[in-house]
């Protein structure tokens, strides 16, 4: 079995905004955790979408229990585990952002 790729939606405690000291501490922890390869602040039911890569489900469980859920601001985690990756690492189609030739 290859590495486990999981996306975790994380809901934080109600606060007056994303700029609280706890939110800043959360963001610093996310950057420091090597298991998290991407983090996005998103709108909707959760505040952040984390992409986590670990060797197996036991490691994912350990990561959740000993790291992510230990952060005081984390209220809830919803996980989705990739069963199969059909496409990853594609080049972004950003040609439309180039300045027109003069």
CATH number, domain containing residue 63: 3.30.70.920
More confident residue, 1 or 44: 44
- The verdict on residue 101 lying in a domain is no
Residue 92 lies in a domain: no
The verdict on residue 49 lying in a domain is: yes
In-domain check, residue 44: yes
Number of domains in the chain: 1
Per-residue pLDDT reduced to its tens digit, 21-45:
888 888 899 999 999 988 888 888 8
pLDDT at 63 over 60: yes
CA distance 43 to 96: 26
Residue 79 has pLDDT above 50, yes or no: yes
| 98 in a structural domain | no
* Contact present, 6 and 82 (Cβ < 8 Å): yes
Give the pLDDT band of residue 14 (cuts 50, 70, 90).
very low
Structural domain including 29 reads 4-84
Quick one: which of 73, 50, 75, 45 has its CA closest to 63? 50
Domain-embedded: residue 89 = no
* Mean pLDDT (whole number) for 56-60: 91
24 is a domain residue = yes
Of 33, 73, 32, which is closest to residue 52 (Cα–Cα)? 33
Average the pLDDT over 87-96 and give the result: 81
Give the residue, 34 or 4, on which the prediction is more confident. 34
Kindly state whether residue 95 falls inside one of the protein's structural domains: no
User: What is the pLDDT at residue 96?
Assistant: 80
C-beta separation of 87 from 51 below 8 A: no
């Amino acid at each position: 079995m290859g590495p486990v790729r999981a996306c975790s939606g994380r809901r934080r405690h109600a606060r007056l905004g994303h700029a609280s000291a706890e939110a800043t501490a959360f963001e610093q922890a996310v950057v420091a955790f090597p298991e998290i390869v991407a983090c996005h602040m998103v709108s909707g039911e959760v505040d952040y979408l984390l992409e986590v890569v670990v060797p197996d489900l036991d490691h994912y469980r350990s990561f959740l229990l000993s790291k992510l859920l230990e952060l005081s601001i984390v209220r809830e985690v919803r996980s989705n585990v990739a069963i199969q990756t059909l496409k990853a690492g594609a080049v972004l189609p950003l040609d439309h952002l180039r300045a027109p030739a003069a």
